[in-house]
Amino acid sequence: MNAPVAVVTGAARGIGAATVDRLVASGWRVGALDIGHDDPTLDYPMGTVSELEAVASRHDGRVIPLVADVRDQRAVDTAVHTTVATFGRLDAAIADAGVIAGGRNAWETTEAEWAIQLDVNLTGVWHLANATIPTILATEPLPEAQRTFVAVSSSAGLRARRRLAAYSASKFGVIGLVTAMAAELGPEGITANVVCPGSTDTPLLTESARIYGLDDPSAFTVHHVLDRLVEPTDVAATIAYLSSAAASAITGAVIPVDAGMGIE
């Protein structure tokens, strides 16, 4: 079967899991990556192996679950190699793995809080690019899909948030990295774009609410022109579009999916 193939990080839940589902519904096969264990620096649980396997199990062999920490280049390389060995090609890489930590002023952020957010949110995107771009370059394009790299940044990558300096720095960095890649990959016919979600109904938003002392994450809707949270499926739909042939003229774009947060 000559269907397009993507690698998606952060795939056990939230935006990553929704992206896997949307891509498969659009005819893709997917290598789904997640860390599968908690980190002592963080005050909330990471995606589990069982959650990752549940995402794969609902897709009848079109998704393979792969446990990998995006901070570890060798682990990402191995996961990508397994995806290509299983499906025979690689058309797209979707960098969604991300963490949030802290709740302190910039100068009070601990070394551990700084390191985990920069390492996962920014260096993890670079690791995925290192692992995937050479193979994507060597893959013969299909008419129905883009050869593409898409990264998930954040509304905090467009407008810094108080008490989230390290998170904002990492997400600003994602935009710089991926738009530079767009300039480099353009001559090869490969697109690279960034999606910036607003307050999205995921475990990270629950942790954001805790950081700001809010009892209910839905309180963040006060910053949205549309009176609702962003859903993971909203972001996944945009990622799937950017991976489709219909988006062939879009590269170097930074696209808000934020229920109008950026207007305020």
Q: Which residues are catalytic?
A: 167
**DSSP-assigned letter for residue 88:** S
Residue type, 249: A
Burial class (CB in 10 A: 0-12, 13-18, 19+), 239: buried
Q: Which amino acid is at 198?
A: G
The pair of three-digit structure tokens given for residue 33, joined into one six-digit string: 């990556």
29 and 5 Cβ atoms separated by less than 8 Å: yes
249, 248, 214, 247: which is closest to 229 by C-alpha? 214
In this structure, what DSSP letter does residue 48 have? B
Give the DSSP H or E segment for 67.
Answer: strand 63-67
Could you write out the three-class secondary structure of 102-144? CCCCHHHCCHHHHHHHHHHHHHHHHHHHHHHHHHHHHCCCCCC
CA-to-CA separations, 97 to 122, 139, 186, 228, in angstroms, rounded: 10, 24, 25, 24
